[in-house]
Structure 1
Amino acid sequence: MFGNRRGEYKKFPGVCEFEKKAEFPALPGESAGVRLLQPFPANHRKWNWFPPPFNRGFLMRTRAILTVLLLALIVTGSPLNAQSKKKDQTRTTKHEELGERIGTMVEEVIAKIGKGLSLTREEEDLFSVDSLKRRSRRGIKVDSDEKSVTYEGTVRINEDEIIRSNVIVKGGDLMIYGKVEGDVLVVGGDLYMKDGARVTGNAKVINGEIFEEDGSAIDGYIDRSSTRASSYREEEDRFRRSSFRLNAPWVSETTNLDNFIFRYNRVEGIFLGAGSEKRYYWDGWRDYSVYGSIGWGFKSHRWRGNLGLSRQFLVDDGHLLELGVEGHSLTDTKDHWIISQGENTAAAFLIHEDYRDYFGREGYGINAGYAIQEEDMTIQVKAEFLSDRYSSLDNRTEWSMFGGDKVFRPNPLINDGKMTSILTSAGLSTMEKTLRGTEGWSIYSTGEFAKRRFGGEFSFNQYVLDVRRYQPLGQYDNINIRLRAGTSEGVVPTQKIFEIGGLSTLHAFPFKSEIGNRMILMNAEYIINGDFLGELDFWPSWLMSGFNFILLSDAGFVREVSPLVSWTDGFEDIRWTDFKHNIGVGLSNRSGSMKFAFVWRTDRADNAKFIFRIARPF
């Protein structure tokens, strides 16, 4: 443990710790530094405190003084034994034994002091001016061999550094900005992987956490463990559930709300509001969950919002049964799966493109559901009774910061009227974020049954299935695949019809150019990290590891069949030529949250279409 004039200290494994630290003015005959506020614990091992300045002369003088004092203790004991020898032989024997014990203790202490204070060439450099400047980034190296290097205290590996061995850090944090060609082990601290950092081997943290930024990479496995493994797993489960969220991609925008709501679109203009998200109390902390939002559209001149109440019953740890009710007046859309509200707001505000179509929806819903959220899996089944009145909305604004002479697409008319339906849904997600991208399954299906006998003006059944797989293939590449299919029976209103083409569907085709009541859509991305040629000496790994190359392919099929046939009909005699298809190449950042690509239709010779996204397509 080292003290300094600011009252700071550095912690090492096995070293006595301060319960508190404070800065005191120097007392008479005392140097400024850190004063121990609490006594040593009975089981402390050893500690070193070197008041400033840190230099070789001070260490050598300290060693010499301690050595002289200990030798003096031996010398003063020896004459006493010699003078008393003639008087009392028994007493002499006891003194000799005491002298021998003291001598042995002195030798051990001197050996420890010599080991602690002797300066090797490496340790001598530790106290040089240049080393003091580096002190803020690197702890003390206590051991090294051909395969690994061990440090005590917080260690920082800079952007321009490459460590070609395993790295072990004890009692401190490891912050990596550069590259470690080997494994990493952190004991009693945290591992921070900064943007551009890379570990070519495995990463293991004991009694700590791993924090990963976009653009960082660990090629091997990641292991977080504790000296009390069962306790660690319990704490991890409790943390996941205490987030109060349903960790699934199908969560509705009407429940997953921000505290401050800002959106911009062609039917409302700027919309400002406040919201409170729906919380899932996985630990049974509360029985009721209240959520809702309220806001004002500055061009539509209309208040919009919703208010919901859910009664939750804790069936088991991480298992919830819920009953709920909601009232709403919304500017709604069926295009949530195509583009998120945030990305669409950015497009409308900046480049004069609104990729959503809107309608008004006012009414209420009553629902019942069961949700399970485990460490590696989320499941939800739900049934809702919905009674809503739908209405068409018109464009209200043409303003955009950029975009030149472009104008917004007209918002399409819908079939106005009252719709009363039962909406069922079931979802399973094993998705998790890793340094190589998202991994796992997402399966979600819905079935909506609207009947006039329920009190509405529409009668139809509609079914949608969405299956996604995110699969790492190796150290540098992975593949993402989505299959989305839909079918219906009865006369489906315009606001429920299937439409594909353009963004997130068939990228090279006109936006929503394929319309019908039968749909099959397949999207695939093959992603390879830019550092896949990192073994080449001339390859700029420091740059390319932060980028991904993307090969993408889309295929879609839409068909219109009679509303009188069953929902299972209409998929007969499908040929590959019935599908619209495009291919493309692109480049993205490490996480895939921002990318651009060029895509081409395969059914005819055509110019490439450029796409730019600030969110993943699926």
Structure 2
Amino acid sequence: MVIDPDAPGQAQVVSGLPVEVLNELLAAWNDSATVRLPAGFTLPAGAVLQGDVAAFRGTLRIAGTVEGSLTVINGDLTILPGGRVLGDVLVAGGRMTIAEGGSHEGTARVFWDAAPVNRLSDGALGVRERRRALGDLATAERTFGDGKIRTTLRLTTTQTYNRIEGLGIVFGPAFTWQPNERVSGTLDLRGILRTAPDNGPFRRDLGWLIRTDWRLAGTRGYGVGARTYSVIAGIEEHTLPRDEIGWNAFLFQRDNRDYFSSEGVGGSAYAYLTRRLRFDALVRYEKQGSVRANDPWSLFRNSGRWRPNPLIDDGHYTLLGLQADYDSRNTRLNASSGWWVRGSVEYSHSSDVAPVALPRTVRTPLPSGSYNTSRFTLDARRYNRLSPDVQLNLRLWAGGWLAGDPLPIQRRLSLGGVDLLPGYDFRALNCAPLGTQDPAQTALCDRALVTQAEFRHRLRLRAGLTLRDPDQKELTRFAGVEDPELVIFGNAGSAWLAGDGPGRVPSDRIQSLTQWKADVGVGLDAGGVAVYLAKAVTGGEPVKLYLRLERRF
């Protein structure tokens, strides 16, 4: 009898790796009475191991007899013909196979997800800390008080670097009140110091964010919040994460995001209808204004010029938004199974919008006096664990104009660049008329649609950075990487102008598939750092090399 040569049965497999299981793995390996076996060990026929046994990495083959519990961490277990295990079995990060003629007496638990552990200098196993976000590396905070009321003093950054603010320094206190286990409230007072030299009258050197949030926990969670703010907001924030945007700008003077000032007040509410389904509603009244690119310092190419930041359609806007999230992922970090879906709609109204003049082929003049428009976004991701080492992940992202007047510049879209279509240049699809000379490369499309697929295979190679000096622990938390994964991917999508007229796509349709752009690529992702090669399938784009600090999606 062969149990699961390719995948454990549904009764045996547990999705994700709960904290209590991780603690159980560490306790089993680190127990001084446990027999530790080296990676790739084979127990020969006739040999007997008494007591608890544990193996770390590789494939453990049992042709003899194990009289006790057996724990396999980030490896596979194969019970060969004639092999016997007379105790409970726990396998994490691998599969369990019982060949015909082999036997197991006891319970068996198999977790496909690898345990985030590494071997310490004394041979014990410890939890491998995930690489910290850049903003956390430069964070100092101190909490006072206990019980119902706590005060936290914080000094940190905006976790990014850009051509408007440079490095934003965030400071201020936060107060938390928790009268019981179900109710909690926070008051967060933050100042934002912008370090880039200001070249114009549009930007203030000091911003702020003052917010209060109240939560009611239970079978269903609820919450409400209010805030006032003066911040620099990003355009097309669904693309690269903030820390990757910041590193690219700081190192190479390439800022792949545009910005505008946002100053106003707002309120929000949320409710968990189920453990996986959450709804949010928000209302904001804010002044949105153009900001000019400054000249912050960059490590390389510092003598060059930053890409100009485009003008937006300035004005006071009333915003109403609804958002729904469905999350069945086994874990939020490095998900390997489940769905993550986010859909949102936003309605905007302004009575004093000052629009930027655009070619009529892109946008007809906006109405004066009363301006109303709405847009939508949809991000659907499916994570599929095919085996302990293999994943197939899929994503669909769509967004853009929904109804009403044409979108303002700060809500328009583009495609091309590191994230969604990496085989193409930055904003290769931005809907600008042919021959347009625009050094800002402004995003002008009404709608965009992208599909992504990736195949991941864990290579089970040791790629972590090991430092023996305990004083350098913070460096390992920044630079530490995980077992590398081979990633083969493909992307396809398009961005277009919606409506009637030449060069446009009717509002009730998507662009013809014959006009979509596609690319393919391959890379190595080691958790903390990834290197990719991408090549456009359509067009004569050269092969592009990218360095990423986060997973593709």
State whether TM-score is above 0.5.
yes
* Equivalence for 1:361: 262
- Higher Rg: 1
Change (3 A) 1:141 1:556: closer
Residue 289 of structure 1, CA deviation = 3.2
Find the aligned partners of 2:551 and 2:515 in 1 and give their Cα distance. 27
Find the aligned partners of 1:557 and 1:318 in 2 and give their Cα distance. 42
Q: TM-score, normalised by structure 1?
A: 0.57
* Equivalence for 1:201: 96
* Equivalence for 2:222: 321
Find the aligned partners of 2:515 and 2:506 in 1 and give their Cα distance. 16
**Counterpart check, 1:465 vs 2:383:** no
Find the aligned partners of 1:192 and 1:422 in 2 and give their Cα distance. 49
- Contact 1:282 1:320 (C-alpha < 8 Å) held by counterparts: no
* Equivalence for 1:529: 458
Find the aligned partners of 2:293 and 2:371 in 1 and give their Cα distance. 26
Change (3 A) 1:466 1:308: same
- Contact 1:417 1:457 (C-alpha < 8 Å) held by counterparts: no
**Counterpart check, 1:340 vs 2:241:** yes
**Counterpart check, 1:509 vs 2:509:** no
Deviations 1:129-184 (A, max 9, x none): xxxxxx99852659x986984535xx77577x8643397877xx979588765699
Find the aligned partners of 2:235 and 2:188 in 1 and give their Cα distance. 22
Match of 1:151 among 41, 44, 51: 51
Identity of aligned residues (%): 20
Residue 275 of structure 1, CA deviation = 6.4
**Counterpart check, 1:260 vs 2:195:** no
Residue 463 of structure 1, CA deviation = 1.3
Change (3 A) 1:570 1:452: same
* Equivalence for 1:599: 534
**Counterpart check, 1:139 vs 2:36:** no
* Equivalence for 1:572: 509
Find the aligned partners of 2:267 and 2:453 in 1 and give their Cα distance. 37
* Equivalence for 2:438: none
Q: Secondary structure at the match of 1:393?
A: coil
* Equivalence for 2:292: 394
* Equivalence for 2:326: 428
- Contact 1:476 1:529 (C-alpha < 8 Å) held by counterparts: yes
Find the aligned partners of 1:420 and 1:563 in 2 and give their Cα distance. 28
Change (3 A) 1:415 1:285: same
Find the aligned partners of 1:186 and 1:164 in 2 and give their Cα distance. 16
Residue 267 of structure 1, CA deviation = 0.8
Match of 2:185 among 285, 288, 296: 288
Deviations 1:549-575 (A, max 9, x none): 2111111121112499xx995253742
* Equivalence for 1:491: 406
Change (3 A) 1:442 1:185: farther
Find the aligned partners of 2:296 and 2:55 in 1 and give their Cα distance. 51
Specify which structure has the bigger relative contact order, considering alpha-carbon pairs within 8 angstroms and separated by 6 or more residues.
Answer: 2
Find the aligned partners of 1:529 and 1:599 in 2 and give their Cα distance. 20
Change (3 A) 1:402 1:472: same
User: Could you say which structure has the higher helix fraction?
Assistant: 1
Match of 1:212 among 97, 107, 115: 115
Change (3 A) 1:371 1:167: farther
**Counterpart check, 1:350 vs 2:244:** no
Match of 1:311 among 195, 214, 219: 214
Q: Secondary structure at the match of 1:509?
A: coil
Find the aligned partners of 2:61 and 2:177 in 1 and give their Cα distance. 46
- Contact 1:184 1:199 (C-alpha < 8 Å) held by counterparts: no
Residue 330 of structure 1, CA deviation = 0.8
* Equivalence for 1:57: none
**Counterpart check, 1:385 vs 2:283:** yes
Deviations 1:520-548 (A, max 9, x none): 1111111122369xxxxxxxxxxxx9322
- Contact 1:184 1:204 (C-alpha < 8 Å) held by counterparts: no
Residue 470 of structure 1, CA deviation = 1.0
Provide structure 2 residue ranges, at least 5 long, that are not aligned to the other structure: 1-28, 37-42, 98-105, 120-152, 199-203, 354-368, 431-444, 462-481
Counterpart residue identity of residue 374, structure 2: N
Q: Superposed, which structure 2 residues align to 1:131-280 within 5 Å?
A: 139=33, 149-152=49-52, 157=55, 163-165=60-62, 199-201=94-96, 212-213=115-116, 260-261=156-157, 262-274=159-171
Find the aligned partners of 1:557 and 1:510 in 2 and give their Cα distance. 14
Residue 585 of structure 1, CA deviation = 1.4
Find the aligned partners of 1:276 and 1:169 in 2 and give their Cα distance. 54
Find the aligned partners of 1:428 and 1:604 in 2 and give their Cα distance. 37
Deviations 1:36-69 (A, max 9, x none): xxxxxxxxxxxxxxxxxxxxxxxxxxxxxxxxxx
Counterpart residue identity of residue 491, structure 2: D
Counterpart residue identity of residue 605, structure 1: G
Find the aligned partners of 2:156 and 2:292 in 1 and give their Cα distance. 25
Find the aligned partners of 2:46 and 2:179 in 1 and give their Cα distance. 49
Counterpart residue identity of residue 525, structure 1: E
Find the aligned partners of 1:382 and 1:549 in 2 and give their Cα distance. 37
Find the aligned partners of 2:30 and 2:118 in 1 and give their Cα distance. 24
- Contact 1:418 1:457 (C-alpha < 8 Å) held by counterparts: no
Change (3 A) 1:510 1:487: same
Change (3 A) 1:292 1:499: farther
* Equivalence for 1:451: 349
Change (3 A) 1:163 1:513: closer
- Contact 1:151 1:168 (C-alpha < 8 Å) held by counterparts: yes
RMSD after superposition: 4.4
Find the aligned partners of 1:509 and 1:177 in 2 and give their Cα distance. 37
Find the aligned partners of 1:381 and 1:577 in 2 and give their Cα distance. 37
Counterpart residue identity of residue 504, structure 1: D
Counterpart residue identity of residue 210, structure 2: L
Q: TM-score, normalised by structure 2?
A: 0.63
Deviations 1:209-254 (A, max 9, x none): x9922789xxxxxxxxxxxxxxxxxxxxxxxxxxxxxxxxxxxxxx
Deviations 1:284-311 (A, max 9, x none): 4334233453221112461222121223
Match of 1:519 among 445, 448, 469: 448
User: Could you say which structure has the higher strand fraction?
Assistant: 2
- Contact 1:357 1:412 (C-alpha < 8 Å) held by counterparts: yes
Find the aligned partners of 2:226 and 2:86 in 1 and give their Cα distance. 50
- Contact 2:417 2:427 (C-alpha < 8 Å) held by counterparts: yes
Find the aligned partners of 1:325 and 1:435 in 2 and give their Cα distance. 29
Find the aligned partners of 1:267 and 1:185 in 2 and give their Cα distance. 65
* Equivalence for 1:616: 551
Q: Secondary structure at the match of 2:456?
A: strand
